[in-house]
Amino acid sequence: MNRYPVWKYAILVIALLVGVLYTLPNLFGEAPAVQVSAGKSSVKVDLTTQARVEEALKAAGIAADAITFDGNSIKARFASTDVQLKAKDAIQKSLIPDVADPSYVVALNLLSRSPAWLSAMGAAPMYLGLDLRGGVHFMLQVDMQAALTKKAESLAGDLRSALREKNVRHGGISRNGQAIELRVRDSQTLEAAKAVLADQFADLQYVDAPDGTEYKLTATIKPVSARLVQEQAVKQNMVTLHNRINELGVAEPVIQQQGPDRIVVQLPGVQDTAKAKDILGRTATLEMRLVDDSAEARAAESDTGPVPFGMERFKERNGQSVIVKKQVIITGENLTDAQPGFDSQNQQPKVDLTVDAKGGRIMRDTSRENLKKRMAILLFEKGKGEVLTAPVIQGELGNRFQISGSMTVTEANDLALLLRAGSLAAPMEIIEERTIGPSLGAENIAKGFNSVTWGFLVIVAFMCVYYMMFGLFSGIALGVNLLLLVAVLSMLQATLTLPGMAAMALALGMAIDSNVLINERVREELRNGASPQAAINAGYDRAWGTILDSNVTTLIAGVALLIFGSGPVRGFAVVHCIGILTSMFSAVFFSRGLVNFWYGRQKKLKGVSIGTVWRPDAGSAVTKVE
């Protein structure tokens, strides 16, 4: 009765193998590495960059252990910190000729030392939280009211020009909070205004009320549109934050949305909070200016003449110089949206731009006077301007216009993103901030590790003494539990924090519960005179119901923490929940497998080694040993 079919043993062996494979990367430790990623939104890291990195290292005579490209960055691993620092200098010299204007971020990082075949399987070490590796954590709240107000403001402007276009005479448009108020004299005009609203402003809902002899029309942003505005505001702010953080040279920044209006930024390894905060809070600006096409400007473009008076020289992304006027047509403030799309006539990729009413008026005048001339769109980051694109004005422009021609789909997407990234969609406020020094992180790892190790050893020792062979089985099962827990955490790449390590220790302490329950039950069956095989069978069977009950109640608490917890509590809850699940597998299924393997084959089993089975009627201890 105490035998497992072969398939059950097969499951155990496979689970163990997978567990060992995915736990392995954690044992190899980390090696110093240099990471190269894009330093500007307009620069892409690809295989050619990898070739440049390899060349630079070869030229400097530095041997890298491995160079990998993961889609966003190139990571090169080195044997020691000395080599790492030399390599960083070499790569920096070759990739960044102008230190004042770096196109790439070359950052020091740590990389798993695990062999390539393990990494190829997707096995990676657990992702350590900030409290274990040191760094800065920010939580930013996006001011959604401001985003909505901004939207209402731009819609009010749009409405004003739309009414003028349709010759609807109104008594004034004003923005009151997030509502737009429109006054009209008579019911005829009211109907005309309503028609314009219904026709052109899908984002607005409106109510009208008589106000004395006049009518007042109050338009508000529809809830659906408001949600859209908020989503876009958060997304745009995240893109902007991403671009700015690149500047800090952080190897693996985390930028995540949390809830509807919050953004979490984690910068591992960064200690200078002041600089980080300064960079997060800064605004990049977008400017549109006219390009000078005069003969002097042409000469200046090709570096054969001086830059004419009232002009400035900027570089395009491909390095081409462009001479533009100093006078700014409109800035990013007037730009409300930029979306990639396809031209309906020739199916070419394009970018649709929307500017507010004021911007639209200026664009109309400027474009009428400068037909067939080029207009440059400049992005200023860190006080340095760069020409994103300089298209030729093909006609009279208004509120909405498009940039098209000689673009790939990716280029159109990038351009739209860069245009939007020019400014934050809504102001943000830091509502939570945490800094953890690197030495504290290392100390925390050691503390968590010590807690788990010592607790584990003492429990196993106690189990072995108290339950003999069965105690040893329980101890091995507990070890397997730890192995599986680490493997699952590595697989999920869940963030391990100090509370997470505490949960790991607690999970082990609670997991042994199931084995004690089983062992006590087996003893009790033996005490009541059952044969050893029957006692093992009954012990496991009867304990199972209780184990399930107790684990379900613990899991309820774990899930509640997972749902409502944030930050440190969530780190605890994830490990807690996974620990309960792995403990059910190891404490019941795996330990039974061990017991079956050891005792199950013996048909005439005389006794099992489970420590003292004490009988009250005998009055003395009866020790059954095999």
Q: Which of residues 541-600 bind another protein (CB under 8 A)?
A: 545-546, 549-550, 552-561, 563-569, 572-573, 576
Residue 509 touching another protein (CB under 8 A): yes
* CB 105, min distance to another protein, A: 25
Reference 79, options 28, 133, 33; nearest CA is 33
CA–CA dist 611, 601 (Å, integer): 21
Checking DSSP bridges between strand 135-142 and strand 262-268, what pairing results, if any? antiparallel
Reference 557, options 569, 546, 567; nearest CA is 569
Of residues 109 through 168, those in contact with another protein by CB under 8 A are 131, 139, 141
Pick 426 or 505: Cβ nearer another protein: 505
Pick 135 or 157: Cβ nearer another protein: 135
Pick 307 or 555: Cβ nearer another protein: 555
Reference 489, options 28, 126, 123; nearest CA is 126
Residue 274 touching another protein (CB under 8 A): yes
Q: Which of 33, 193, 419, 436 binds another protein (CB under 8 A)?
A: 436
Pick 568 or 607: Cβ nearer another protein: 568
CA–CA dist 172, 376 (Å, integer): 36
DSSP string for residues in 234-284 = HHHHHHHHHHHHHTTT-SS-EEEEETTTEEEEEEET---HHHHHHHHH---
Part in contact with another protein (CB under 8 A); list of ranges 7-15, 206-214, 273-281, 284-292: 273-281
Pair 270, 292: CB distance under 8 Å: no
* CB 239, min distance to another protein, A: 22
* CB 288, min distance to another protein, A: 33
**Axis-axis angle for helices 144-165, 187-200 (nearest 10):** 120
* CB 378, min distance to another protein, A: 31
* CB 451, min distance to another protein, A: 4
Pick 68 or 550: Cβ nearer another protein: 550
Which amino acid is residue 136, in one-letter code? V
Of residues 290 through 329, those in contact with another protein by CB under 8 A are none
What x-and-dash track marks residues 438-467 binding another protein by CB under 8 A?
Answer: -xx--xx--xx-xxx-xxx-xx--xx-xx-
Pick 403 or 512: Cβ nearer another protein: 512
Residue 346 DSSP code: T
Pick 20 or 560: Cβ nearer another protein: 560
Part in contact with another protein (CB under 8 A); list of ranges 11-19, 333-341, 344-352, 513-521: 513-521
CA–CA dist 337, 233 (Å, integer): 11
CA–CA dist 228, 624 (Å, integer): 73
> 78 forms bridges with which residues in the sheet?
none
Q: Which of 147, 197, 419, 512 binds another protein (CB under 8 A)?
A: 512
* CB 489, min distance to another protein, A: 17
* CB 226, min distance to another protein, A: 21
Q: Which of 13, 51, 121, 621 binds another protein (CB under 8 A)?
A: 621
- Residue 119, classified by CB atoms within 10 Å of its CB into exposed (0-12), middle (13-18) or buried (19+), is middle
* CB 120, min distance to another protein, A: 36
Residue 613 touching another protein (CB under 8 A): yes
Q: How many residues bind another protein (CB under 8 A)?
A: 78
Residue 510 touching another protein (CB under 8 A): yes
Residue 31 touching another protein (CB under 8 A): no
CA–CA dist 125, 494 (Å, integer): 10
* CB 396, min distance to another protein, A: 46
* CB 177, min distance to another protein, A: 21
Of residues 218 through 247, those in contact with another protein by CB under 8 A are none
Pair 340, 403: CB distance under 8 Å: no
Pick 385 or 500: Cβ nearer another protein: 500
Pick 60 or 440: Cβ nearer another protein: 440
CA–CA dist 174, 167 (Å, integer): 18
**Axis-axis angle for helices 273-281, 223-246 (nearest 10):** 130
Checking DSSP bridges between strand 135-142 and strand 173-176, what pairing results, if any? unpaired
For residue 30, what is the enclosing H or E element?
strand 30-38
Structure tokens at 21: 């494979």
Q: Which of 59, 612, 625, 626 binds another protein (CB under 8 A)?
A: 612
Reference 453, options 499, 516, 515, 504; nearest CA is 504
Q: Which of 267, 517, 574, 587 binds another protein (CB under 8 A)?
A: 517
CA–CA dist 33, 83 (Å, integer): 9
- Residue 466, classified by CB atoms within 10 Å of its CB into exposed (0-12), middle (13-18) or buried (19+), is middle
Of residues 411 through 430, those in contact with another protein by CB under 8 A are 429-430
* CB 502, min distance to another protein, A: 5
Question: 191-200 in b/e burial notation, b at 16+ Cβ within 10 A?
Answer: ebbbebbeee
Which amino acid is residue 211, in one-letter code? D
Residue 320 DSSP code: -
Reference 402, options 358, 330, 329, 340; nearest CA is 340
Residue 96 touching another protein (CB under 8 A): no
* CB 473, min distance to another protein, A: 15
User: Under DSSP, is residue 531 helix (H, G, I), strand (E, B) or coil?
Assistant: coil
Give me the torsion for CA of 400, 401, 403, 409, rounded to 10°: 40
* CB 281, min distance to another protein, A: 10
Of residues 44 through 63, those in contact with another protein by CB under 8 A are none
| Helices and strands (H and E) in the chain: how many | 17, 24
Pick 229 or 512: Cβ nearer another protein: 512
Pick 318 or 439: Cβ nearer another protein: 439
Residue 528 touching another protein (CB under 8 A): no
* CB 137, min distance to another protein, A: 9
